[in-house]
Amino acid sequence: MEIITQLDDDEMRIELRGRLDAAWSNSVNKTFQDTVHGGSHRIALDLSQVTYLSSAGIRVLVILTKNLKAIGGSFRLINPSSTVSEVLKLVGFQQLLDSFVTSAIIEKPIIKDQNNIMPRRVTMAENDFDVYTLNEASIQQGLVIDKNVSVLDSSIKKTVTIPIHSDTLVIGQGVLGSANVNAEHSGELLAVSGLAITLRGDDPAHPDWMQQEAELVPEVTLYHGLKVTGKFRYLLKFGEIPETPTLRLSELAQAALEICASDTVSWVVLAETVHLIGAAAQVSPEKHLDDFFDFPAIRNHLLFTAEPAYRDDTCLIVGVIARNPNFPLAHQLRPLATGSEFFIHAHACIVPFSPVLKGFIQLPESLEKLMFTQTIRGVLHLLNDDREGVGAGESVLRRGALWCAPVDFTGEASV
C-alpha cells in the first residue's frame, strides 16, 4: 500500500492506494495517530484507489472517527471506490457513507464558545497567540505561605489547610487532605479548579490526586508555597495551526506577563509536550529539613531530568511568574535563567498524550477530560537547566492553552 499525505490549511488529506487489510492497518493507524499528534484534527481520507477493505481496515476507520469526535475534530471520505462503498454498506457503516463528498473543499467552522467569545490574534514573545478575554478587570489575590523565609525550622509546625474551589490555585510542598496530616507524606503539590495532585514524599513512584465530585471539594495541607484566589483574566491558545513553531516555557511565561500588563501573574497551562525539564523530590523535604540540599545527600533526595523527559505527552502546569519579585514572594520563586529578571515557581503533572481541544475551552471541563484515564505519569518541579555545555535546557511545549491573570500578593498577610 502507498500512503500519501498533504496538508491543506488545517485539514490533512490522506490518500491510500492498494489494499487496506491487516497487513497495512497498523501503518495506516500510525499515520492517523501522527496526524492528530501533529495538530491536524480535521482529516480527509481519499479511498478512491483502495482495491480491498478488510475488517481490520474497517476497525481503523471506526477508531479514527471516535477519536476525532472526542476532540471536536472532523472526518470525511473522498470518492470511495466501488469496492469500499460496497463493503461499508454491507457492514452498515452508514455514518461514514453519509460523510462522502467528491470535493476536497469544505466550509471551515467558525470556532466560538457558547457565549460567543471570539479571540484576537496577538504576537508576544515573537509568537502568535489567540487571546480570549474572560474577565477583563479580574485581579487575583495571592498569599505566601512560608514557615520561615530564611531557615526551615523543624520546630515550627504551622500548616495551612486550603479547600480547592473552582477559583483557587495552590502550588508548593504539601499533602492531600486535612485530617491526621503526616509531614513524611508531603511532596510536590499542585492544585487548581477542583483538582489537587501531589507526589507523595513517602511514595514518589505513585502520584496521588483528588478531584471535585458533586459536593466533595478537595482539600490540601500546605507546608510552604503559594495560594491564589480569583478568576482568570485571559485564555491564550497557541500552536493551533499544524506545523507552527514550538514554544519554550520562558516564552509562554513572558507572554503571560505581557498580556496581563503586570509584574506578577498566575498561570495554568494545559499543553502537549515536546519535552519537559525539571526535578522531583524522592523523599519528603519535611523529613530532611536540615540536610535536604546538602551534597551528596541531595542525590538521594531529588531526581533530576538529566535529559529531556516526557516527550510527546500531555501536561498540566500550575504556577506563578514575576518580574523582579519582592520579599517574601521572592523566596518562593527561582530565576527563569541565570541573570534573568523573570522568576517562576511551576509544577507539572504529566499524563499520556491526549490532544488539547482547539478553539475556546473551559478549564474545569478540560481538567475533567485530562484526568479521565486516571493515569499520572509523573510530577515535576520545572527548571531551566542552563549550565553551559552540559545543561538539558528548558521545557518545550507544542500546542495548548494558557489561563492567566494578574496577582496581588500585598492584600493578605503572609503566613
- CATH at 45: 3.30.750.24
- Is residue 252 domain-shared with residue 391, that is, in the same domain? yes
- Is residue 57 domain-shared with residue 135, that is, in the same domain? no
Number of domains into which the chain is organized: 2
Which phi and psi angles does 37 have, rounded to 5°? -65, -30
The answer as to whether 79 is a domain residue is yes
- Is residue 269 domain-shared with residue 349, that is, in the same domain? yes
- Is residue 131 domain-shared with residue 44, that is, in the same domain? no
- Is residue 376 domain-shared with residue 229, that is, in the same domain? yes
- Is residue 63 domain-shared with residue 189, that is, in the same domain? no
- Is residue 79 domain-shared with residue 186, that is, in the same domain? no
Would you state the pLDDT for residue 281? 77
For 30: left if phi > 0, alpha if psi spans -120 to 50, otherwise beta; the answer is alpha
Q: What is the pLDDT of residues 49-66, one digit of tens each?
A: 999 887 778 888 888 888
- Is residue 233 domain-shared with residue 329, that is, in the same domain? yes
**Which range marks the domain in which residue 55 is found?**
2-97
Angle, helices 55-70/22-37, rounded to nearest 10 degrees = 10
In this structure, the strands spanning 396-408 and 140-145 are parallel
- Assigned C-alpha cell, 104: 476536497
Would you state the pLDDT for residue 9? 79
The answer as to whether 160 is a domain residue is no
Identify the burial level of 107 via C-beta atoms within 10 angstroms of its C-beta, where 0-12 means exposed, 13-18 middle and 19 or more buried: exposed
255 within 8 A of 385, measured Cβ to Cβ:
no
The answer as to whether 108 is a domain residue is no
Low-confidence ranges of the chain (pLDDT < 70): 93-116, 147-158, 179-183, 282-302, 373-374, 411-415
Q: What is the pLDDT of residues 174-228, one digit of tens each?
A: 988 875 566 677 889 999 999 999 988 777 788 889 898 878 899 999 988 999 9
The answer as to whether 314 is a domain residue is yes
Would you state the pLDDT for residue 147? 61
Q: How far apart are CA 362 and CA 268, in angstroms?
A: 12
Which phi and psi angles does 330 have, rounded to 5°? -60, -30
